Each structure stands twice: as structure tokens, then as C-alpha cells.
Amino acid sequence: MHELYAILREITGYIYPNEVELHWGILIVVYPYITGLVAGAFILASLVKVFNVKEVQPTYRLSLLTALAFLIVAPMPLLAHLGHPERAYEIFLTPNRKSAMAMFGFVYAWYLMAVLLLEIWFDYRGDLIRLSQKEHGLKKWLHRIILLFSTDTSEESLKFDKKAVKFITVLGIPSAFLLHGYVGFIFGSVKANPWWSSVLMPIVFLFSAIVSGIALLLLIYMVTTLMRWKPIDMKCLDKLASFLFYMMIIDFSLEALDFLHRIYESEESIKILSQLVSSKLFVSLVVIQLLLGMILPLVALAATKLFPIPDELRRHIYFISALLVEVGIFTTRWNVVIGGQLFSKSFRGLTAYKMTLLGIEGLLMAIVLLLLPFLILYLLTLIFPPWPEAYETPAEAEATT
């Protein structure tokens, strides 16, 4: 309770007494960040299958596994922040149909079961059968169970797999939009809160999700390739970077539109919101989200398009830009979630957020939840090797090295 007394000293103006406690903390920042990465990674994967962008093929399986790894973690921050996590199942049993949040369970289950798992299964089936034939012991059994004991590697069945993957991807794109657009809707539909309430919110969420997903895959692709001592495919990297660039431009335009719209309409809340932006959110919104997370990487990426820059340097630029973008999108989520709670609904005052370090809703927990998907991703790559060398016979491997 004493941390609430500490906040009392930081309040400027008037806030309703019940607003001293801020209710959605760092975990609710982590949640949309993670679902955004899921949606973004999946959209990248679908570029390969649906839009036939051959260059980014090396990231296809990685994208799927990344999406899965993050999707597994996605409900955890939500669960951890509940006052009564043990009652969470009620969302499935007696959902309130009018509540945006109640749909979480269904959207999540749909995306996990009907989209990601199925797509991974069909995509890996043929390869895993071949792999399991060479394996022994536990690994063999694990793969056979995952395969549901399917052993058919006939031409037709492989063709069917391909078709299935394509079909699921087509289904998956709107699903990914739904998954993350819906998270935007949770905020965008709160009419009590002018910082959130915007019809653009789901769309802004979506494009920032795609941006964060592509940037993440760019990073993961570079790191894993280096770790395997393989050469980086520059064509793939260039393509990733240019997708990142275009998506960032869309994202930036949407956010600029939202900003202009607010200023131009200049509603009742404009005074308190501009106070918010110029004081409590200045560093996280103007400096980090806008300058470091958006403008700087945009300029850097534009430079790689305009000038002939040697591969080595280009790789560095891509890497650093993608890192900055990740930090930028994280602060975007922060500015939405935390920023939306720093001003009073009386529009007469600002309050503060004091993040705790320990505890179930603290900073450490958030860091763990952000690192956990990488551990899961590592385990997934052991079960579903995303790299071609895993499926080569020793003779083939010999030939390629």
C-alpha cells in the first residue's frame, strides 16, 4: 500500500481518488507486444506461401516457429495479472458475448489450433517422416507421435500437404489480423478513455505488429545463421529490410494521421493529452518511440536503398535498425497501455506509474516472459529443425561443405 502513498506525491492537478492505483501495468504492455510479434511473424511467413516472395523462403519455417513460441507465452502475462487467475476458465464457460475481452479465448484457440499448429504440421510432415526414418530412440518416437504415425510420403500426399499449407495460410492471414486487430479493439473501444478510443487503434496495432514481426525475424535469422556458421543470404536480408521499410512507412503514416486528427479535432481531452505527451510521455513517446524507434531506422533503411552500401555495412545497418524498431514498438505498447492510464478521466490531472521490480506483476516477471519465447523457440527448433541441413544425408552434407 505504501507505494500508493508515494504516488500521491507525484500527482499533478486532480485525479479521482480511485485512480491513484494504476491497474494495467507492465504485464499488459508485454501482452500486446507478444501477440503483435505472433501476428507479424505469421504475416511474414504468409508472404512466402501466398504471395510467393521466394527471397524470404529461408525465414519461412523460422517465422512459423517464432509465431508459435510467442503464441504459447501470450496468455501468460494476462493470466499473471488477474486478481483471480484460478477463475480464468470462466472466460470459456460463461463468456459475456458483448465483451471484447471475452473473445480472447476463442480467438486464441482458433489461431493456435486451426492455424499455426496445422500449418506447421502439414509443412513439416514430409520432412519429419524422412527424418524419423533415420532416427532412433526417444527422438524417433517423439517425431512419430507428432506425425500421428503418418508415414505416407507418396507424391500425392506431399502435394496435398502443399495445398493444405497454402489453404491454411490464406485462412491464417485474416486470422492473424483478427488476433492482433482484436487486441487493438480491446483498447480502441474504451470510450471512457480518449487516449485509447479510436477506430484506427486496431489498424495501427496491426501494422506495428507486422513491423515488429519482420524486424524480429530479421534479427533471429541473422543470429541463427551466424550461430550455424552459414553465410547470410543477402537477397533474403535485403527483401526483409525492404518489407520492414514499407511497413514502417504505413505504420508511421497511420500514427501521424491519428495524431493530426486528434490535434485538428481538438476535443475536450486535448489539453490534458498534450500535457501528458510533453511531460510524462516525452521520453518514451517522442524520444524513443518516434525518434529512435521510427525516424532513425527509417532514415537508415532508406539510405541502404538509395546508396550502394557494401554487404558487411548493410548487415550492420539492418541489424541495428531492427533492434531499434523492436525497442520502438515495445515503447509504443508502453505508451498506449501505461500512457492511457497516466491522465485522469476527469481530464484535470496526471498521475504516475511506479513499476515494481519483484512480484508477479513486476519488471522481472516481464523480462522472464519476454525471454521465455526464445527458450521455447530453441526447443522447437530441436523438434522441428527449420534448416535444410537437418534433412540432408551425410553425403549431401559433405557435398555442400
Residue 91 engages other proteins in binding (rule: CB under 8 A): yes
Do residues 125 and 161 lie in contact, with contact meaning Cβ atoms separated by under 8 Å?
Answer: yes
Min dist CB 347 to other proteins, Å, is 6
Q: How far apart are CA 380 and CA 392, in angstroms?
A: 19
Residue 191 engages other proteins in binding (rule: CB under 8 A): yes
> Judged by CB, which is closer to other proteins: 166, or 348?
348
Q: Record the cell numbers describing residue 228, joined without a space.
A: 550455424
29-37, 90-98, 218-226, 303-311 -> range binding other proteins (CB under 8 A):
90-98
Q: How far apart are CA 203 and CA 189, in angstroms?
A: 13
Residue 192 engages other proteins in binding (rule: CB under 8 A): yes
8-16, 166-174, 206-214, 236-244 -> range binding other proteins (CB under 8 A):
8-16
3-state secondary structure (DSSP) of residue 313? helix
> Judged by CB, which is closer to other proteins: 221, or 347?
347
Residue 370: DSSP 8-state: H
Q: Which of 299, 288, 297 is nearest to 331 (CA)?
A: 288
Q: Which of 175, 170, 169, 145 is nearest to 71 (CA)?
A: 175
Residue 99 engages other proteins in binding (rule: CB under 8 A): yes
Residue 101 engages other proteins in binding (rule: CB under 8 A): yes
Tally the C-alpha atoms within 13 A of residue 131's C-alpha that lie toward its C-beta: 24
> Judged by CB, which is closer to other proteins: 110, or 391?
110
Q: Which long-range contacts (CB under 8 A, 24 or more apart) does 233-240 make?
A: 233/55, 233/58, 234/311, 234/314, 234/315, 235/55, 236/55, 236/56, 236/57, 236/58, 236/59, 237/314, 237/315, 237/318, 238/55, 238/314, 239/53, 239/55, 239/56, 240/44, 240/56, 240/59, 240/214, 240/318
9-17, 41-49, 323-331, 351-359 -> range binding other proteins (CB under 8 A):
9-17
* Residues found in the chain: 401
Helices 155-188, 118-134: inter-axial angle, 10-degree rounding: 140
Query: Which one of residues 19, 119, 123, 326 is an interface residue with other proteins (CB under 8 A)?
Result: 19
Q: Which of 245, 220, 159, 238 is nearest to 387 (CA)?
A: 220
Q: How far apart are CA 77 and CA 47, in angstroms?
A: 29
Query: Which one of residues 10, 54, 96, 263 is an interface residue with other proteins (CB under 8 A)?
Result: 96
Q: What track of x and - describes contact with other proteins for positions 331 through 370 (by CB under 8 A)?
A: ----------x--xxxxx----------------------
Residue 97 engages other proteins in binding (rule: CB under 8 A): yes
> Judged by CB, which is closer to other proteins: 193, or 356?
193
DSSP tally for the chain: helices H, then strands E: 16, 2
Query: Which one of residues 6, 82, 145, 360 is an interface residue with other proteins (CB under 8 A)?
Result: 82
> Judged by CB, which is closer to other proteins: 321, or 351?
351
3-state secondary structure (DSSP) of residue 1? coil
Residue 249 engages other proteins in binding (rule: CB under 8 A): no
Do residues 335 and 285 lie in contact, with contact meaning Cβ atoms separated by under 8 Å?
Answer: yes
CA 375 to chain centre: 16
Query: Which one of residues 85, 174, 359, 388 is an interface residue with other proteins (CB under 8 A)?
Result: 85
> Judged by CB, which is closer to other proteins: 109, or 287?
109
Residue 190 engages other proteins in binding (rule: CB under 8 A): yes
Q: What track of x and - describes contact with other proteins for positions 284 through 323 (by CB under 8 A)?
A: ----------------------------------------
> Judged by CB, which is closer to other proteins: 6, or 383?
6
> Judged by CB, which is closer to other proteins: 25, or 58?
25
98-106, 223-231, 252-260, 377-385 -> range binding other proteins (CB under 8 A):
98-106
Do residues 285 and 333 lie in contact, with contact meaning Cβ atoms separated by under 8 Å?
Answer: no
Residue 146 engages other proteins in binding (rule: CB under 8 A): no
> Judged by CB, which is closer to other proteins: 109, or 302?
109
Number of residues lying near other proteins (CB under 8 A): 48
> Judged by CB, which is closer to other proteins: 89, or 378?
89
Buried b (16+ CB within 10 A) or exposed e, 270-279: eebbebbbee
**Contact residues for other proteins, defined by CB under 8 A:** 1, 4, 13-21, 23-24, 78, 81-85, 87-88, 90-104, 106, 186, 190-193, 341, 344-348
